[in-house]
């Protein structure tokens, strides 16, 4: 039971990390496109 809880916590932490990475990359891409549109 304890090991299961620990593994689920690890998976949730990894999911959070992946979600955060995706959000950050998305914001960077949006900023890049915004700067391109504004520069033109």
pLDDT surpassing 60 at residue 1: no
Q: What is the pLDDT of residue 9?
A: 83
Q: Residue 2's domain spans which residues?
A: 1-40
Handedness of CA 18, 20, 22, 28 (dihedral sign): negative
Tell me how many domains the chain contains: 1
Q: Which residue has the higher pLDDT, 18 or 10?
A: 18
Strands (E), 1-40: none
pLDDT in tens, 17-38: 999 999 999 999 999 999 999 8
């Amino acid at each position: 039971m304890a090991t299961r809880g620990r593994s689920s916590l690890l998976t949730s932490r990894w999911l959070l990390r992946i979600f955060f990475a995706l959000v950050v990359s998305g914001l960077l891409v949006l900023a890049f496109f915004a700067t391109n549109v504004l520069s033109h």
